[in-house]
């Protein structure tokens, strides 16, 4: 695990270009660059502990994007008495814990890890990896206890909800636009006992966790669309994936886009029609597989554990 004395940076960054290291070839650099919500960021591919190149590159990037720049970086790196960062406790569920409470505790744990604003994604997530490999990545996220982005949160939520009785999980991906900038985001949709909700991470509270209280999939998706509108974003596409296996040793890959909705062309009624048709097909497959869930105890859902933070959306 990274030294606990290394600071847990929470840097809100504007859109920026990647700062090229003169000692690094363009090919090497491109392999270590990712993109989320219209913003380029570095991806740590060195594992843990971070190698010197990744560590120094992160600080160099933070100095470029933070309002206080090199002054902030210098003060932190020269300090000899940095406060220790508390480690979030992985939730443990007694057998009688309602599903709604379990999901909220999973979300709270992820929110306690905090959203990663450093410009360097600490965990490499390859969406085409088998599920067993992604579960290994989730265990690494728990072990290192570092801030995460939305895709890492989806993988972590899959791991933490494995084995929950009657809970089905599926990815929901969003493509929105603000001005000329395209933003992408992903959450983990959940279904149990005739109710839908979602788990995830975002800079905005209403673009991540959704309690298990939506009567249909279309209500959940349209609720996200309303959230995007509040930030003057145009939601262009929504992609719904297939339910994800609960077998942590499965070599299946996650199906990220079984259904694609063009939110620009479809009316609200059209969105509802497509989503209801898709959800009926999925529920039919669940019935034939013998995995239909029982309705969980419905308790008043707690409020989202993550507070509003300034910055971009996802």
pLDDT digits (tens, 9 = 90+) for 128-172: 999 999 999 999 999 999 999 999 999 999 999 999 999 999 999
* 108-129: average pLDDT: 94
Q: What is the pLDDT of residue 14?
A: 31
Q: Look at the chain and count its residues.
A: 314
Determine the pLDDT at residue 13: 35
- State the Cα angle at 282 between 278 and 285, rounded to 5°: 145
The tally of domains found in the chain comes to 1
Helix (H, G, I), strand (E, B) or coil at 312: coil
Across 137-146, 158-167, 226-235, 300-309, least confident range: 300-309
Model pTM greater than 0.75?
A: yes
Give mean pLDDT, residues 103-110. 98
* Sheet with 234-240, edge to edge strand ranges: 210-214, 195-199, 181-192, 168-178, 234-240, 259-262
User: Which pLDDT value is given to residue 41?
Assistant: 76
Residue 277 in any domain: the answer is: yes
What is the mean predicted confidence (pLDDT) over 237-244? 96
Q: What is the pLDDT of residue 212?
A: 97
**101: pLDDT confidence band, cut at 50, 70 and 90?**
very high
Query: Would the pLDDT of 175 be above 50?
Result: yes
How high is the pLDDT of residue 288?
A: 62
d(CA 166, CA 112): 26
DSSP string of 17-64? PPPPPTTS-HHHHHHTEEEETTEEEEE--S-SSPPHHHHHHHHHHHHH
- Model confidence at 300, pLDDT cuts 50, 70, 90, reads very low
CA dist 289 to 143, 280, 282, Å? 34, 14, 11
The pLDDT value recorded for residue 28 is 44
List the helix and strand counts (H, then E) for the chain. Answer: 8, 9
In a domain, 314, yes or no: no
What is residue 285's predicted lDDT score, i.e. its pLDDT? 73
Q: Is residue 293 part of a domain?
A: no
Range of the domain at 231: 99-288
User: Which residues are part of the catalytic machinery?
Assistant: 150, 185, 202
Structure tokens at 90: 């992985």
Average of per-residue pLDDT across 118-135: 94
* DSSP for 175-228, written as a single string: EEEETTEEEEEEEEEEEETTEEEEE---SSGGGS-EEEEESSHHHHHHHHHHHH
Kindly state the percentage of the chain with pLDDT values over 90: 65
Residue 105 lies in a domain: yes
129: closest CA among 118, 140, 120, 119? 140
pLDDT at 32: 61
Q: How far is CA 252 from CA 157, 241, 243, 248, 249, in A?
A: 17, 13, 12, 10, 9
Query: 22 versus 88: which is more confidently predicted?
Result: 88
Please check whether residue 40 lies inside any domain of the structure.
Answer: no
- 185 closest CA partner among 39, 306, 36, 309: 36
- Pairing mode, strands 39-43 and 33-36: antiparallel
**15 falls within a domain:** no
- Residue 5: predicted pLDDT: 37
Q: Residue 3's pLDDT is what?
A: 42
Q: Indicate the SS3 state at residue 80.
A: coil
112 inside domain = yes
Average confidence score pLDDT of the chain: 83
pLDDT digits (tens, 9 = 90+) for 8-19: 444 333 333 333
Q: At what angle do helices 99-113 and 150-161 cross, to 10 degrees?
A: 140
Residue 9's nearest CA partner among 64, 67, 76, 74 is 76
């Amino acid at each position: 695990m990274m030294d606990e004395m290394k600071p847990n940076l929470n840097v809100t960054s504007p859109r920026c270009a990647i700062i090229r290291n003169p000692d690094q070839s363009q090919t090497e650099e491109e392999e270590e660059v990712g993109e989320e919500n219209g913003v380029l960021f570095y991806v740590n591919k060195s594992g843990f502990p971070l190698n010197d190149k990744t560590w120094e590159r992160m600080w160099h990037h933070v100095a470029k994007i933070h309002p206080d720049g090199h002054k902030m970086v210098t003060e932190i790196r020269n300090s000899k008495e940095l406060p220790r960062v508390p480690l979030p406790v992985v939730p443990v569920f007694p057998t009688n814990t309602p599903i709604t409470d379990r999901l909220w505790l999973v979300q709270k744990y992820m929110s306690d890890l905090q959203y990663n604003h450093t410009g360097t994604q600490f965990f490499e997530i390859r969406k085409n990896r088998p599920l067993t490999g992604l579960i290994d990545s989730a265990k690494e996220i728990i072990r290192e206890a570092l801030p995460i982005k939305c895709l890492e949160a989806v993988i972590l939520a899959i791991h933490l909800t494995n084995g929950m009785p009657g809970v089905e999980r599926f990815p929901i991906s969003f493509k929105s636009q603000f001005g000329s900038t395209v933003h992408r985001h992903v959450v983990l949709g959940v279904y149990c006992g005739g109710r839908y909700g979602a788990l995830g991470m975002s800079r905005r509270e209403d673009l991540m966790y959704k309690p298990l209280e939506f009567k249909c999939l279309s209500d959940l998706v349209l609720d996200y669309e309303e959230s995007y509108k509040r930030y003057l974003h145009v939601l262009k596409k929504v992609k719904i994936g297939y339910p994800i296996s609960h077998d942590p040793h499965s070599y299946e890959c996650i199906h990220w886009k079984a259904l694609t909705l063009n939110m620009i062309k479809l009316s609200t009624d059209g969105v509802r029609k497509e989503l209801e048709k898709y959800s009926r097909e999925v529920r039919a497959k669940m019935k034939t597989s013998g995995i239909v869930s029982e309705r969980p105890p419905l308790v008043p859902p707690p409020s989202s554990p993550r507070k509003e933070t300034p910055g971009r959306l996802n």
